[in-house]
Structure 1
Amino acid sequence: MSLAYVCLHVGFKLGLPDGRWPLSAAALRPAARLLPMVCGITLCLASVAAAASPPSSSSSAAAGTEAGPSRFSADRLQRLDDFLAKATDARGYLGAVSLVVADDRVVQSQAYGYRDLSRSLPMQRDSIFRIYSMTKTVTTVAVLMLMEEGKLNLDDPVEKYLPEFSGMQVFAGGTADLPELRPANRKLTVHQLLTHSAGFATGGKGIEQATKLLERADLHGSADLEEFSRRLSKIPLAAEPGTVFRYDGTQMEVAARIVEVVSGQRFDDFLQQRIFDPLRLADTGFSVPAEKRGRIVDITVMGADGKLRLDAGPSATRPGERLNPYPSGAGGLYSTAPDFMRLCRMLLDGGALDGVRILDRKTVERMMANQLTFLNPPVTQFSDAEGFGLGGSVLLDPAGKGRLGPAGQFGWSGAASTYFSIDPKQRMISILLLQHLPNDAANDLPRISTRFYNLVHQALLP
């Protein structure tokens, strides 16, 4: 609306006591005489208001989206805001970004604290985070896209695409130096890779010797996914395929390698061309361009003295570079809250966003359904209240997990305190991004994702 139109409209309103819109030239004349004065007043008031207003707060909606659905309580959303502000004060996390969307409308969007250890650079809503294991959800989407195109089936044996995985052996006893092996009774399948039930020796009680063999292979030193898969295929399994859920990244690296073989593209090129570009994820990738690296958040750990310090790993000392030599399908991506929200919106909306279809609705429904029905109980190693879908956990028992909201919520997290949850029943997405590697020491920062999710659900009106 132009300023002239505003002045004219206000002049008419002032010219008529009852606020009626004048219909005749005669009726317009008194108002027209007031027009110059009204426009002057309007401009003056606008200038005063602009001077008195503080800088725009990042708690408003993201650009181009409407904020604040009426089914949320403003007072309770303020509790969420207060909680995150306190969690990122001088004694807490460096900073955080939260983003909540319901019915495709932004409910809450805020940046808190700082993105650097010296607490001199304010966090921004488009700050860039290492999302680590949230990468697994993206990798799963890539595999499911190829499944829909008829290029693979989830029940296919892995050796169909990666022959090196034929004739796998299982660790049956002995030590890492003198292992006792037996042939596996089952073949590895693509579905087992996506559900973390392939049987790889990924650490944990009772499989220490088998895990030593895996560690000696130095998988993370592989130059590419082909080498990673070749090294892994020579290591005996710790369990029969399809018999136990044991979460780890090795399985998703093999899934990423299958994407390369089936598509004929490098994994990072496939994601860029088939997912990131179509969904307009402008700040998501395996590395960060030099001109954007100032937006990367410092990654911290808690020191023995109770003070945060920079992590000593390469992702902290060389922010923006690849987290692995290869494009890791298990944990290699950088992203932002707005970017990852678009991926989540695609899933919540049944596989499509803004006219771009990535997956079929039925595929997304399968993705968000518990896949661990071959186990009794059908839950993860982490919680008796959670199952696992394809690329993320599925909430089975909210009370058992200490979570509000309905069963069926789907989501996952990253090692450096990044979290997302999709609630299909409430049509709501909640994202919380921090950048801290927990060490579970007594003086470490508290985990806050459950409290965050619960405050979001508490803000829903009855």
Structure 2
Amino acid sequence: MWLYRGAWGLALGAVLCLTGLPLVACATAPSSAALPVAPVALPAAPTLPAIDDFLRDATAERGYPGAVALILHDGKTVHAASYGWQDLAHTRPMRRDSIFRIYSMTKTVASVAALMLMDEGKLGLDDPVARHLPEFSKLQLFTGGSAAAPQLRPATRTLTVRHLLTHTAGFAAGGEGFEAVTQLLEQHRVREVDTLAEYAARLSQVPLAAEPGTRFRYDSTSTETLSRLVEVVAGMPFEQFLQQRIFTPLGMLDTGFEVPLAQRARVVELTTMGDGATLVLADEAHARAPGTALRPYRSGAGGLYSTADDYGRFAQMLLDGGQSHGVRLLRADTVALMLQNQLVHTALPKPVTEFSDAEGFGLGGSVLLDPALKGRTAAPGAFGWSGAASTYYTIDPGKKLVAILMLQHLPGGAQDLPRISTRFYNLVDEAIHP
């Protein structure tokens, strides 16, 4: 689902919505062949010289093909610029409104959807998941053996909504010592489904790798289950809920699970490192056909396309305590809870992620605990996450700052491009608070 840009598209959307038609209709565009859509010229924006220099260098020859950066401080845009190219052939310059696969940055959006239902009293952080998804009522725990002959016992801890939001559900998400139970996950072909309902049904038949709340293991399984829970509790498809309750109120016109044909020239090519340290097009169906769905079902864990400006509106809403231009999506205390390290409420030996002792995890994103240990100059409490194809965002409440960096590259290989997010964030800090 997608809202068309331009005056005609906005007028049509307004008419449909005012006539009381379902918001699915408001989000469904006419045939692109019948209605070509001209791009909207975005207003000129300020730039920060240090960021410009850094990203021009990062997108120079043998660097990333292109990038878009957006920095918001105290509610104002202080930097918005594009660099390099959308494509490997260097025929399409990167644009500020270029469209990116944001992969796991989708997880924060799905988390907000669940928290909106919590604000309405329809869901609780410590609700048993089985209260809303009965298929999870008889979870088994893998205790040993092999995938062919697993040893199981009933799980003793209750799987809760909080566990889904913090990646502590205990699902078979890989890792050393969990190879056999991960094979069971693969045998159930959990990811080879067309709907979130079928995803949850298959996942519920796979034994847990750990008791809920005892292990942090980042993966898609928790957020896909959370997305199915949103569907059930809200009584509407997950995609429709996001469109109606988040994208439309925030004016996120270019965010959705597929890109309309008329807009696909704005989708950035997805690269990876090939032989000889040369960038090549990634071997993904949606890389060969940009704008098509990233997964066969509407994935809350990694299915969205978006732009820097759209995600900036979403992040600024969180920085502003859950509201945007007079429209409230979340209560301020719910946002405050979201941005706190929730791993302190689990049975983990240490309330930190598997990636670093410098960060915990809130409700849908990481929370910076020790900036020096992480190599960051941000204030403690900075919140954010990234996407698999090198898209990044951070929300720093202490500095009233949102910083977004959009690249489109799948990392991999010893000769890969350098990671630049930490340096980018630190340069932003230096520019805003020298």
Aligned residue number for residue 263 of structure 1: 234
DSSP 3-state at the match of 1:372: helix
Instruction: Please name the residue that 1:160 is paired with.
Output: 131
Provide the residue aligned with 1:394 in structure 2: 367
Deviation per CA, 1:326-385, whole angstroms, max 9, x where unpaired?
A: 110100000000000000010000000011100010000000000011333210000010
Q: Look up the match of 2:11.
A: none
- Mapped pair 1:230 → 2:201: yes
Letter in 1 for 2:127: D
Q: Deviation string for 1:315-334 (max 9, x for gaps)?
A: 20121111111110100000
1:62 offset after TM fit, Å? Answer: 5.8
Change (3 A) 1:107 1:62: farther
Q: Name the structure, 1 or 2, with higher relative contact order (CA <8 Å, separation 6+).
A: 2
1:374-418, CA deviations, whole angstroms, 9 ceiling, x for partnerless residues? 333210000010000011000000000000021000000000000
Mapped to 2, the partners of 1:385 and 1:147 lie a distance apart of 29
Residues 452 and 84 of structure 1, relative CA distance in 2, 3 Å threshold: same
Matches within 5 A, 1:12-27: none
Amino acid at match of 2:229: I
- The answer (yes or no) to whether the contact 1:62–1:109 under 8 Å persists in 2 is no
Q: Alpha-carbon deviations, 1:18-68, whole Å to 9, x = none? A: xxxxxxxxxxxxxxxxxxxxxxxxxxxxxxxxxxxxxxxxxxx96387x47
Aligned partner (choices 342, 353, 378) of residue 313 of structure 2: 342
Q: 1:216 aligns with which of 174, 178, 187?
A: 187
Q: Which amino acid aligns with 1:63?
A: P
**Corresponding residue for 2:424?**
452
The letter of the residue matching 1:405 is A
Measure the CA separation in 2 of the matches of 1:192 and 1:437: 28
Contact 1:214 1:232 in 2 (8 A): yes
Measured after TM superposition, the shift of residue 223 of structure 1 is 1.3
> 2:386 aligns to what?
413
Q: Distance in 1 between matches of 2:432 and 2:229?
A: 42
Alignment of 1:282-361 (within 5 A): 282-361=253-332
Counterpart-to-counterpart distance in 2, 1:365 and 1:356: 18
Once the two structures are TM-superposed, the CA of residue 461 in structure 1 deviates from its matched residue by 3.8
- Give 1:116 deviation, angstroms: 0.7
1:239 aligned residue (204, 210, 218):
210
**What corresponds to 1:14 in structure 2?**
none
Q: Distance in 2 between matches of 1:357 and 1:460?
A: 28
Which of 21, 41, 58 aligns to 1:87? It is 58
Q: 1:186, CA displacement in angstroms?
A: 1.2
Partner of 1:33 in structure 2? none
Q: Which structure has the bigger radius of gyration?
A: 1
TM-score by length of 1: 0.83
Quote the Cα distance in structure 1 between the aligned partners of 2:108 and 2:276: 36
- Determine helix, strand or coil for the equivalent of 2:386: strand
- Deviation of residue 188 (structure 1)? 0.9
* 1:57-103 residue CA offsets vs partner (Å, 9 max, x unmatched): xxxx96387x47xxxxxxxx312211110110121011000000101
Give the conservation status (yes or no) of the 8 Å contact 1:159–1:166: yes
Give the one of 73, 77, 94 matched to 1:102: 73
Contact 1:62 1:106 in 2 (8 A): no
SS in 1 for 2:399: coil
Q: Which residue of 2 is the match for residue 38 of structure 1?
A: none
Partner letter of residue 176 of structure 1?
A
Is the CA contact 1:147–1:154 (under 8 Å) kept in the aligned structure 2? Answer: yes
Secondary structure of 1:453's aligned partner = helix
Residues 347 and 64 (structure 1), Cα distance of their counterparts in 2 relative to 1, 3 Å cut: farther
Residues 267-299 of structure 1, C-alpha deviations (whole Å, 9 max, x = no match): 000000010001110000011011110000000
State percent identity of aligned pairs. 59
Is the counterpart of residue 372 in structure 1 residue 343 in structure 2?
A: yes
Q: Does 1:203 align with 2:183?
A: no
Q: Using the alignment, how far apart are the partners of 1:429 and 1:396 within structure 2?
A: 18
Equivalent runs, 1:4-153 vs 2, <5 Å: 63=43, 67=46, 77-153=48-124
Aligned residue for 1:434? 407
| Equivalent in 403, 409, 412 of residue 376 of structure 2 | 403
| Separation in structure 2 between the aligned mates of residue 93 and residue 437 of structure 1, nearest angstrom | 11
Query: How far does residue 106 in structure 1 lie from its aligned partner after superposition?
Result: 1.0
- Residue 424 of structure 1 aligns with an amino acid whose one-letter code is P
Cα distance in 1 for partners of 2:384, 2:89 equals 32
Q: What is the root-mean-square deviation in Å for CA atoms of aligned residues?
A: 1.3
Question: Scaled by the length of structure 2, what TM-score is found?
Answer: 0.89
Q: Could you say which residue in structure 1 is the equivalent of 2:147?
A: 176
Confirm whether residue 383 of structure 1 aligns to residue 383 of structure 2: no
**Structure 1 runs (4+) greater than 4 angstroms displaced:** none
Give the aligned partner of residue 32 of structure 1: none
Q: Which consecutive residues of structure 2, in runs of 5 or more, have no partner in the other structure?
A: 1-40
Q: Which residue of 2 aligns with 1:443?
A: 415
